[in-house]
Amino acid sequence: MQHPVLACRQVSRLYGARASEFIKDGHITTDNVQTLQEAGITPAIFNVDLDIERGKTFVIMGLSGSGKSTLLRCLAGLTPPSAGQILFESKDLFGFSEADLIQIHRHQMGMVFQHFALLPHLTVLGNVAFPLEIQGRPRAEREEIARQMIRLVGLEGREHRFPAQLSGGQQQRVGIARSLAGDPDVWFLDEPFSALDPLIRREMQAEVIRLQGMLKKTIVFITHDFEEAVRVADRIAIMKDGLVEQIGTAEELLVSPATDYVRAFTRDAPRAHILTARSIMTTPPPAGPFGGEVSATDRVISFARQLDASSLPLAVIEDNEIIGAIDRAMLLDILIGPNAQAVGA
Ligand SMILES: Nc1ncnc2c1ncn2[C@@H]1O[C@H](COP(=O)(O)OP(=O)(O)OP(=O)(O)O)[C@@H](O)[C@H]1O
Ligand SMILES: [Mg+2]
């Protein structure tokens, strides 16, 4: 297997005056979060282990204060961990010299934040070209690249506007264009759309998915919103009080939540869009007859109508074999979670 682009090995970040008392030889001296808290220490992240695969979108979720931004800032080389290691391309990210780390930030990482952080005195073109200016590229070249990025995010014709003359969604598009201008390998987005209204938010999610399809970046994306996570993620990490409670696909989190906290996050999930035939089928399948076939990887939403209309069960197929069956009577059980979704709506 290819090595992960980024990895955390027992990474912790402690805040508080007495934090150093609990760190020895790069390790935290206690496994007990409560001990730390009693000493007035906030373990913003605690013993985090994870791998981020190349070209995939890794989402970090959790309530406010659960450590998402701290984890992202550690992964991005902005906040050094108190203990443990961040591996970037298999090398200790905080083992690089200051100068090398700056080069990594300029050339291999791009970032988008919740509050768009544009430079108000620069135009759209100036903002997007800014990282390239820092990289020392000649003006003609950086403006050409900046124009391409502006086109990519659909802001062509607005190159000479200032941020104050743009809507929130447009400003965030400038932020996105800027973060991509340096052609980063890893793209970090910390709640990039939470300041936007729901319609624009959906549009921007679609934009990230579209850009990801074209550019194949490795993405680390923070959100509060499970539906947003489902839309963009390959894998999702759920954080609580500095701990990673579970890492998995949306379907894994929904089907086998490790804790009540994870279950609570997935409660309002659009189940029909997440669950596949495999996770709901009964095995072994009956002898037949069947009313039709679905693939084991098909989402419920794609065959819900067919199932609803069929008096016979549907066969679930993998590698040309029937591996299970789905019955119409199961449909409601599947979809009635605490918050059922209208099928086919
Ligand atoms: N520089 C700091 N000094 C002291 N405490 C900090 C610092 N940065 C973060 N913390 C604490 O660490 C914890 C995690 O903060 P973090 O910003 O990572 O949370 P978050 O999950 O991103 O929250 P939000 O959803 O509100 O952005 C919080 O309790 C926060 O108060
Ligand atoms: Mg945050």
What pLDDT, on a 0 to 100 scale, did the predictor assign at position 316? 96
Q: If you measure from the C-alpha of residue 45 to the centroid of ligand 1, how many angstroms do you get, rounded to a whole number?
A: 9
Give the pLDDT confidence score for residue 169 in this predicted structure: 86
Q: What is the pLDDT of residue 290?
A: 94
The reported pLDDT for the residue numbered 190 is 93
Query: What confidence score (pLDDT) does residue 152 get?
Result: 86
CATH superfamily of 52-84+93-266: P-loop containing nucleotide triphosphate hydrolases (3.40.50.300)
271-335, CATH topology level: CBS domain Like (3.90.1280)
* pLDDT score of 1: 67
pLDDT at 204: 83
CA atoms within 13 Å, Cβ hemisphere of 13: 21
Ligand 1 centroid, distance to 67 Cα (angstroms): 6
What are the per-10-residue average pLDDT scores of the chain (345 residues)? 91 93 89 91 96 96 94 95 96 95 93 85 95 92 93 91 92 91 92 82 86 90 89 94 95 92 88 90 89 94 90 94 90 61 38
Q: Return the domain boundaries, the chain.
A: 52-84+93-266, 271-335
Q: Which atom of ligand 1 is the closest one to the Cα of 191?
A: 27
Residue 338, pLDDT score: 44
The whole-number pLDDT of residue 117 equals 84
Pocket (CB within 6 angstroms of ligand 1):
15, 42, 44, 62, 64-70
Residue 333: predicted pLDDT: 72
- Residue 17: how many CB atoms within 10 A of its CB? 9
